[in-house]
Amino acid sequence: MINVAIVEDDRKAAERLSSFFSKYGAEHGIEFRTVHFESSVNFLSVYSCDYELIMMDIDMPEMNGMELVRRIRERDTEVMIIFVTNLAQYAVKGYEVDAFDFMVKPVTYAEFSMKMLRAVNCMRQREGRNIWVSTRGGKKAVNTEKLMYVEVMKHSIIFHTEEGSTVCSGTLGGIKEMLEGLPFAQCNRCYLVNMKYITEVNATEVVIMNERLVISKMRRKEFLQEFNSYIAGGGKLL
């Protein structure tokens, strides 16, 4: 379930957004729980970190949406925020408070659906997921959020995570299928790297937590394109 706060003083606009979430959820097999707040001040007074997404109007009485988000960011830097407003000229300022995106009223379902696809994909990337791998001792869960890179060594697959390494059997092709939709890219035939951990990259090497991994000539163009696309998307898959 994805918890959504709709902060909007126009009840009809809020109901329209809520219906969009119901429709999108039914189409994509996602459960949304939406809560409507008509007052920005009231929302701030009861705010907790239980929401994954906030749909925020900018032009509101008492406290405008931009100021409200600045206050929220003082306590929560992770929650995803999408501005929904008729003040298009101010919406771009939302990036100053790390807003994910904005929609201009009146919002159509086509626009909503397009934005929500990106938002949900981003949430899934943030959360990561557990993948189950076969080790000598049985099955083990590897959290993809903490997985820095995957290495092929002889006939073994090594998962290098923040917490240590896990050796298992399998193929790199099979692991790539398991990690589909997450920000992993292959830099050579031996390494599949989590792009969020990259601290340096050049034409021949990629650095992950002080580990230098070779970028092969065969993989160089494709790998750099994937990484540049990831960076252009603000650390998200496009």
Least trusted range by pLDDT, from 74-78, 92-96, 226-230 = 92-96
Average pLDDT over residues 202-206: 93
Is the distance from CB of 157 to CB of 190 less than 8 angstroms?
no
In a 3-state reduction of DSSP, which class is residue 77?
A: coil
User: How many Cβ atoms from other residues are within 10 Å of residue 169's Cβ?
Assistant: 12
Express each pLDDT in 5-56 by its tens digit. Answer: 999 999 999 999 999 999 999 998 889 999 999 999 999 999 887 899 999 9
Could you tell me the sign of the dihedral formed by the alpha carbons of 99, 4, 25, 174, in that order?
positive
Phi, psi of 170 (to 5 degrees): 140, -170
pLDDT exceeds cutoff 60 at 176: yes
Amino acid of residue 41: V
Q: Does this model's pTM top 0.85?
A: no
Per domain, the residue ranges of the chain are: 2-127, 130-232
Cα-based torsion angle of the residue sequence 175, 176, 181, 187 in order, rounded to the nearest 10 degrees? 130
Say whether the peptide bond before residue 61 is cis (omega within 30 degrees of 0): no
Sequence-ordered alpha helix ranges (H) in the chain:
11-28, 40-46, 65-73, 88-91, 109-127, 172-178, 217-232
Domain 2-127: CATH class, spelled out: alpha beta
Mean of the per-residue pLDDT values for the chain? Answer: 88
Determine contact, residues 50/22, Cβ cutoff 8 Å.
no
Place of tokens 């073994």: 156
pLDDT digits (tens, 9 = 90+) for 227-237: 998 887 766 55
Judge if 2-127 and 130-232 fold alike in CATH terms. no
* Average pLDDT, integer, range 126-153: 84
Residue 28, both tokens: 């994509």
CATH number for the domain formed by residue range(s) 130-232: 2.40.50.1020
**How much is the pLDDT for 127?**
63
Q: Indicate whether 88 pLDDT > 80.
A: no
Q: Following DSSP, what letter does each residue of 42-66 receive, concatenated?
A: HHHHH--TT-SEEEE-SS-SSS-HH
141, β-bridge pairs: 132
